[in-house]
Amino acid sequence: MRNRLLMGRGHMPNTSLFALAFAASPHPSAATATSLMSRNTSSSTSSIATSSILSASISQSSGEQLSTFLGSSAAVSSSSTTVPTATAQNPIPGIYPSTDPSNPPSIRQDALEVVPDFNPAWQTAHTKAQNQIANYTLEQLTTIVSGSTSRCVGNIQTVDDWPGLCLNDGPLGVRLADYITAFPPGINTAATFNRSLIRTRGLFMGQEFKGKGVNIALGPMMNILRVPAAGRNFEGFGADPFLSGEAAYETILGMQQGGVQACAKHFIDNEQETNRMTSSSDVDDRTQHEIYAQPFMRSVMAGVSAVMCSYNLINDTHACQNNLTLNGILKDEFGFQGFVVSDWGATHSTLSATAGLDMEMPDSSFFGETLATFVNNGSIPLSRVRDMAQRVIASWYFLHQDEDYPAVNFNANNQGDEAINEHINVEDDHSTVVLDIGRASIVLLKNIQNALPLKKPKSILLAGSDAGLASIGPNEFANAGGDDGILAIGGGSGAANLTYLISPLEAIQIRARQDRTTVSWILNDFDLARGGNMAIGASAALVFVNADSSEGSDRTNLTSHNDAEQLILSVAAQNNNTIVITHSVGPLIVDSWINHPNITGVLWAGVSAAETGNAITDVLYGAFNPSGRLPYTIAKNAADYPASVSTSLEIPYAEGLQIDYRAFDARNITPRYEFGFGLSYTEFKYSGLNIVAVNESDNAQADLIRNWEAGYPSPIGLGSSTALWLHRPAFQVTFEVQNTGDVSGGEIPQLYLQMPPSSDEPPSVLKGFSDVFLQPGETKTVTVMLSRHSLSIWDVVAQGWRRPQGTTAVAIGASSRDFRLTGFIPL
């Protein structure tokens, strides 16, 4: 029998059985933990009924004791109320401030300094929602949680004076709408390693969704790049759970500040497109918590209002009716107070409601009247349907969408419907962040003898279809589901219409005129002889190649479109200053050409949307010093990756914690370019590492901190994994970075932890990063904060976060294999 995720941990809608048991003892025995974890092995109405009886017998004082024990996100409620927002930890100015989504904490270089407390805002929202639905009929309640299709990709119909909801894609902008911005996809956003840019992108995106009248934006997408050929990798934030989590956190803070409800997706283990509707991702409990759940945990900490469950099965149970993940991890352990919506068509049973699903999309095949029937025949308690509706409406109040929120002003399902499409332009000046991210996400992989930046070349050749515009553009293919000309975004529901597109050919020609450079080009990927001949005598030959993907299918290889490696080799054979520019949705195998002696430079440009030509030109000519870093590993061989697309209906995540660079390190495999790698036109020196414990003068939750320091796991219960004591700054890491080169530029210092052998962790794991801009000769101090959660591993027996026994080392450097400073946690 398969080792089941969480070993049958269940959900108690009022007071958690597990939390109550563990509250009595801060150091639960393994026997106690095993006994408790085996109580509820499946989703059923009996667990709900049992918890109602138990919670009715619990005294108020016991609830207060539990609440105090659990910490920041604990949500303890009596049987007389369904508001799951009570908080045990009072706000702490500067550390744990009471926060409204319209006014999130400012962006700080020491990003973990503030842990926002959204609980008061949630409690206010739930109280309003509870009052709103107090007199609703069963039919009205089921309407609130049952999807329909109107002007958006999904809608909830009006109920009395409540206006209903518009749900619309997607993770990089308002899909199926006009006069919007298609922002750079998640993969390029993550490649900046820049919190300010990530947050700003989220803010601008949120403002555009609100301007179009969308209540719930179906993004960000945060599935991990486990498989390098996965079709939707470009939508997410890369191969590392910490980077993905921080990018998701900043994106959601920005989006919801802009006024729209963010929807974190796809929960969970949806790492490939092949057989996504029918395959089971078989994931062990520790890997689930430390890798795949991390971005969703950070989303909950950012106050995300909605979470979308995925198509796939998880350990043989559909994600949208998986009690263990939806109720056990998301709602109990993370303390999620919003609602869970199905992916479109991912609902398989009306009883999914008892497993944690709150809203079905895009229709009411299993909810709607059927849900009402299940309530009337006693299969599903009315209290659960009230909880579902309350979560949906509370999220609406949480984002203040009751306060003059715009009505939907477009028709996603019929963009040519002039009767109702008002053509509202929401672009504003948002192209500024498109260009900023485009430049900051370009990774300089190779630069021999300072071939870059270009220095007034007499002549240049641009070769490859990716250098120019498509024959029809900028939206030749529906949902960007094709590859013709410059590759700006990937395809599927994670795409959006481009309102314009600047190609490298256009931008480079404009810049080249300043130097009176002669420009020639060939946009045919297959005329190898002519491409090579045209490269003869050029001061620089720029070869543009790409690799595309789209929702619904995975890439069949890790090579470029049109077999453009042959074009690279043909040009390089005739020109000793060949520079390759790659637009790719994910990793490529480049070893067939990367070491060619005539290839002097390589820019990895990803997919950066409409300003990609300007971004590349700025980097090529040195107007912007490249600072992008790889958010995944580029291997020498495809077989070096620890996982690949599986055609099986049972997909074992057998590599466990060893994904991407973690696997390369653990297995002593040398990559072509490691995670976090990226060159600059200048040089940086690191010095002065200092690691100190943070003085916690408020003494909040000191008993839990002492237990953790002694090596005991964190307690289990509502909000236990998002508790303040676990995530507040515990250690401050400072060091200096100096620009020792001749030009100004940005550096991306990265912090990796090297856990003791007892932890059974990979050799190095990313737990912090920053960005610092320096003039020549300038030195700045960089600060990175570490939380107890960052220093912990998941204990599968005790079901909590535990400090591993032994000494934890800190490595500071410019990539996952380029460490400049080392130290130790003083613990």
Distance, CA of 750 to CA of 812 (rounded, Å): 6
- DSSP 3-state of 196: helix
Distance, CA of 672 to CA of 443 (rounded, Å): 14
Q: What Rg value do the Cα atoms of the chain yield, rounded?
A: 26
What lies within 8 Å, CB to CB, of 754 at 6+ separation is 763, 764, 808, 809, 810, 811
Q: How is residue 129 written in tokens?
A: 């929602």
- The DSSP symbol for 597 reads T
Phi (first) and psi of residue 777, to 5 degrees: 85, -10
Q: What is the DSSP string of 119-155?
A: HHHHHHHHHHHHHHHTT--HHHHHHHTB-B-SSSSEE
Q: What is the DSSP string of 361-388?
A: -SS-SSSTHHHHHHHHTTSS-HHHHHHH
Judge contact between 402 and 396, C-beta under 8 A: yes
Distance, CA of 435 to CA of 618 (rounded, Å): 10
- The DSSP symbol for 578 reads E
Judge contact between 23 and 717, C-beta under 8 A: yes
Strand positions, DSSP E, 301-442: 306-309, 313-314, 317-318, 339-342
Phi (first) and psi of residue 801, to 5 degrees: -90, 130
Distance, CA of 254 to CA of 247 (rounded, Å): 11
| Sheet with strand 154-156: strands edge to edge | 154-156, 165-169, 216-218, 261-267, 306-309, 339-342
Q: How is residue 811 written in tokens?
A: 């490595």
Question: Between the CA of residue 420 and those of 108, 149, 150, 177, 203, what are the distances in Å?
Answer: 43, 15, 12, 12, 27
Q: How is residue 527 written in tokens?
A: 């005329």
- The DSSP symbol for 822 reads E
Distance, CA of 475 to CA of 465 (rounded, Å): 16
Question: Between the CA of residue 370 and those of 136, 311, 352, 357, 358, what are the distances in Å?
Answer: 18, 21, 12, 15, 14
Distance, CA of 422 to CA of 733 (rounded, Å): 52
Distance, CA of 822 to CA of 827 (rounded, Å): 16
Q: How is residue 771 written in tokens?
A: 């960005």
CA atoms within 13 Å, Cβ hemisphere of 517: 24
> Containing H/E element for 767?
strand 765-769
Distance, CA of 795 to CA of 805 (rounded, Å): 13
Q: How is residue 404 written in tokens?
A: 């003059």
Distance, CA of 89 to CA of 300 (rounded, Å): 17
Q: How is residue 586 written in tokens?
A: 């994910």
Indicate which residues carry an active-site annotation: 343
Phi (first) and psi of residue 759, to 5 degrees: -75, -25
Determine if residue 174 is left, alpha or beta; phi over 0 gives left, psi from -120 to 50 gives alpha, anything else beta: beta
Q: Name the residue with tokens 């001061």.
A: 539
